[in-house]
Structure 1
Amino acid sequence: MIANKTDYLELIKNKKWRKLKSSLQDLDAIEAADLVESSSKSNQIILFRLLSRQQAKEVFKMLNHSEQEAVIEGLAENLQKLARLLNDIEPDDRTAFFEELPGDIAQKLIQRLTPEEQKITVKLLSYPKDSIGRLMTTEFVAIKADFTVAEAFAHIRTHGKHSETLNVIYIVDDEWKLIDDIDIKALIFASPEEIITNLIDHRFVSLYALDDQETAIQVFKNYDRVALPVLSKDGVLLGIVTFDDIMDVIEEESTEDFHKFGSVQNAGKNPLKERIFNLYKNRIVWLVLLVFMNVFSGAALAGFEDIIQSFVALVFFLPLLIDSGGNAGSQSATLMIRYLALGEIQISDWYKLIGRELLVSFLLGITMAASIALVASFRAPEIIVVVCIAMVLNVMLGSLIGLILPFIFTKLKIDAATASAPLVTSLCDICGVLIYFSIASKLLVM
């Protein structure tokens, strides 16, 4: 086995294809994927063409979408290898790849599939975009309840070679309606003559093809399963969803939420490969909207020109105060979004949290006010009281804004992550200016 990436690149440079292919066979899928990902585009295609059939299948699954597209484009000249790869990929992984492609390109690639794989792919693509049907694979093993354990194992040996998982075997009736599932361990320890129906209790957990993918995330979390069956509304077993597919969804949704929380839309592509205009377009809308929101901060300041001219030291503490309110709000919003996403709190719990948040934010505000009082005692002792009161109120108000916004958006059926840090901060800026100078006007102008 070759020691490092440089040696592989040297073999490519010297066109020692036979030795390169032999060396690649020694790599596991993760090592091969890492080598492909870290190589240039032209070298990626060379490496991919020399991988074994099984390696190519596993490595393709591990690549990101843009790299998968590059591989497909690079294999276009070798239609036999391209067709073999597309047919070898698990149906759920193939569907995930096709759904990100322009329709005409996806259609051309679907034509490279065998009639059976075409039928499976078209069926999976017909489900709504974020449904469980898009995630499922049709590669599983099902047996009949009247099988003996020996017959079940014979069936598994015959039909289980390409199954996504053999940890769980599914029991169906003559109409392919799911009766139960059984752990492979139970079959291993059962007598070969035992009838399957004697080993099951007709209690199982399942998903429905038209359910949202977030339903699957919650069910996997609650029941700690490796795989779950996917049924039609009539109870017919259509496929299974495996834990690795759910992990991919969780990663995608987490990435999407981070983008929303930063007011960035559609930012999933590699910034090194994405067009400059697209990067600009994905960020400009929210930034412009927030600029107009911040105009209100300027308008609020304009209304306090007299007090600012009389006590110029007030301006020194303004950024510190409004930033503290915004930071407290962002913290609170982050926590609420997480708790809502994990199902640890419900929309109806909002009023229960307000009292607790008020107490926590009051303690935070008092602590931060004590810190700022120390600074004010040296800089402007005449406004210590104003600064301290404003700090406490800003932190409390910011925390409440951060708490309430996710609940409002969730109630309106808008993604709670839209209650993003920039939005919370902008609202806290406007309120912070009004609070600070209103207190100053009351206490300093006699």
Structure 2
Amino acid sequence: MAAQSKPDLVLASVRRLLRVGATANLLNLLQKRHPVDIAELLRALNDHERRAAVDALAGADPRLAMQVVAELGVDVGAAVLASRPASDIVRLLQELAPDDAAALIDHFPEALADQVRDLMHGQQPSAEITEVLENPEGTAGRIMNPRVFALPDETTVEEAVKAIQQLGGVEMSFYLYVIDERRHLVGVVSLRRLLLVPPQAMLKHIMTTDVISVGIDTPQEEVAKKVSSYHLLAVPVVDDENKLVGTVTVDDIIEVIRDTTTEEFQRLGGLEALDEPYVRTPLLTLVKKRARWLVVLFLGEMLTATAMGYFEREISRAVVLALFVPLIISSGGNSGSQAASLIIRALAVGEVTLHDWWRIMRREVLSGLALGCILGSVGFVRVSLWQQLFGTYGANWFLIALTVLFALVGVVMWGTIAGSMLPFVMKRLGADPATSSAPFVATLVDVTGLVIYFTVAATILRGTLL
């Protein structure tokens, strides 16, 4: 029997201590570990065990308990806290940064979230959390930490270093923001530079005045792009008057990128984005979100049957054409899905913009032509080989092979163009380009691919099979 790894042994110990109610021993085991490691252990527990472990930690060390809750993620963390009284939740939320607390409240059931907001209203310790919650969802203001450390521009380096040494409870990310007497953001100094200049120098003489900042209403995706583009660890948030109101740190940006990527992957798969993790999403909700797009795609595929019916005469006279229908339409759908995925990703990371559509069109026409020739040649060789080996396609096998060749060139090129241009169209209309997902592109190309295929067949085979 294989020996258990150390994490497995710790997990087994946690479960055993929870089962027998040995709270003191459980706390002794957990408090020696980093919040990230504790959260990793708790994720392996069931909901009841996880709540019991957090309850034990909250009774002995509320700050550690809430650090663990934050590391669990907002969905799991909110579920852990949701069973507690609203007043208890308000007390525990004070242990978190305002942006982390606001994120948890956003994921509470609506009734509980309203109770928590009502209890926090007018309470000074909760004012910063309330301030974050008042900002629109999906903006920098909703993920910023209003506890921002800044000093006046007349401060000397020596005074700044002393202030940093006495700092407590305020998030620092290797930057010192500099403000004027009206709290306007006027500059930024790296902590490294503070250590390299004379102590008597004033911040206004050593600061960088070209500050990269974002507004309260800046979309979170734009904040993420700015942090990534300028390689920042944090970005200051300013109001309409350029007054410093908070910071967004790189850990918040990672959460934004993760959530955005998750939504895009789900849309690329042809379903609505889930509001909760898959395992916590109710079955009925999961079915609804998947069924809506499946119905739309099914109705689209019905057009394929209509197209097949339109070419019923050609099929009845040359049944051999039906053998290649799956080959033709799947090749077009695959090429379109590839192109759509590439362009959606390029739009998401800012590699291309709407103004680049013509350049992309030219590239994809050439790409589609090349890919179509490659697949068409493979199809031509396949028909030729089967004819030589088995005599499958009769006297007109060469014309059939040409039909497959030219149909694949046309369908693949059309699929590539459609897949690359649909994301631009969706973005131009103000919709999420990921909506033009691979299944949607494939459905579109299936219908038009049939038309292309049978049109080519009617042209090449006229007077022989047709």
The alignment's TM-score, normalised by the length of structure 1, stands at: 0.94
Gap runs ≥5 in structure 1:
none
Alignment RMSD (CA, Å): 1.9
**How many residue pairs end up in the alignment?**
443
Deviation at 1:198, TM superposition (A): 2.2
Match of 1:46 in 2: 52
Specify every segment of 5 or more residues in structure 2 that has no aligned partner in the other structure, as ranges.
Answer: 1-5, 387-391
Question: How do 1:55-134 and structure 2 match up within 5 A?
Answer: 55-76=64-85, 80=88, 82-111=89-118, 113=120, 115-134=123-142
**Conserved 8 A contact 1:86-1:112:** no
Correspondent of 2:245 among 238, 243, 257: 238
1:170 aligns with 2:177: yes
> Distance between the aligned counterparts of 2:434 and 2:125, measured in 1?
38
What does the per-residue CA deviation read over 1:64-98, in whole Å, with 9 as the maximum and x for residues that have no partner?
33322332134339x55x44421111111111222
Q: Which residue identity is paired with 2:401?
A: I
In 2: Cα distance, 1:5 partner to 1:91 partner: 31
CA distance in 2, matches of 1:273, 1:155: 45
- Find 1:17's aligned residue among 17, 23, 26: 23
Determine if contact 2:189/2:208 at 8 Å carries over to the other structure.
Answer: no
Displacement of 1:223 in angstroms is 1.0
Structure 1 stretches of 4+ moved >6 Å: none
Q: Which residue of 2 aligns with 1:252?
A: 259
- 1:145 maps onto 2:153 in alignment: yes
- 1:32 lines up with 2:49 in the alignment: no
Distance 1:273 1:136, change over 3 A: closer
**What is the SS of the residue equivalent to 1:272?**
helix
Match of 2:143 in 1: 135
What percentage of residue pairs aligned between the two structures are identical?
Answer: 28
List aligned pairs for 1:148-159, cutoff 5 A: 148-158=156-166
Paired letter, 2:141? G
Equivalent position of 1:394 in the other structure: 411
Per-residue displacement from partner, 1:9-59 (whole Å, max 9, x unpaired)?
112222222111111111111210011111111211221123333322321
Instruction: State the shift of 1:390 in Å.
Output: 0.6
Cα gap change, 1:180 to 1:95, in 2 (>3 Å):
same
Give the aligned partner of residue 206 of structure 1: 213
Q: Deviation at 1:102?
A: 4.3
**1:250, 1:166 → 2: CA distance?**
19
For the residue of structure 2 that corresponds to 1:169, the secondary structure is: strand
Hey, what does 2:284 align to over in structure 1? Answer: 277
Higher mean C-alpha displacement, 140-149 vs 101-110? 101-110
What is the one-letter code of the residue matched to 1:17?
Answer: T
User: Is it true that 1:345 corresponds to 2:356 in the alignment?
Assistant: no
SS in 2 for 1:19: helix
| Higher mean displacement: 431-440 or 270-279 | 270-279
Q: Is the 8 A contact 1:133 1:230 kept in 2?
A: yes
The DSSP-based 3-state class of the residue aligned with 1:388 is: helix
**The one of 315, 321, 343 aligned to 1:336:** 343
Structure 1 position 182, deviation (Å)? 0.8
Give me the whole-angstrom Cα distance separating, in 2, the residues matched to 1:48 and 1:186.
42
Q: Is the aligned partner of 1:425 residue 2:421? A: no
Specify which of 191, 196, 199 is matched with residue 189 of structure 1. Answer: 196
Give a deviation string over 1:166-198, Cα, whole Å, max 9, x none.
411111112111111111111123333322222
Query: What pairs with 1:302-381 in structure 2 (closer than 5 Å)?
Result: 302-377=309-384, 378=386, 379-380=392-393, 381=397
Normalising by structure 2, we get a TM-score of 0.90
Give per-residue Cα distances to partners, 1:232-280, cap 9 Å, x unaligned: 1101100011111111111111111112222211324233332221111
**Offset, 1:348:** 1.4
Rounded to whole Å, the distance in 2 between the matches of 1:147 and 1:57 is: 35
The residue identity in structure 2 corresponding to 1:392 is V
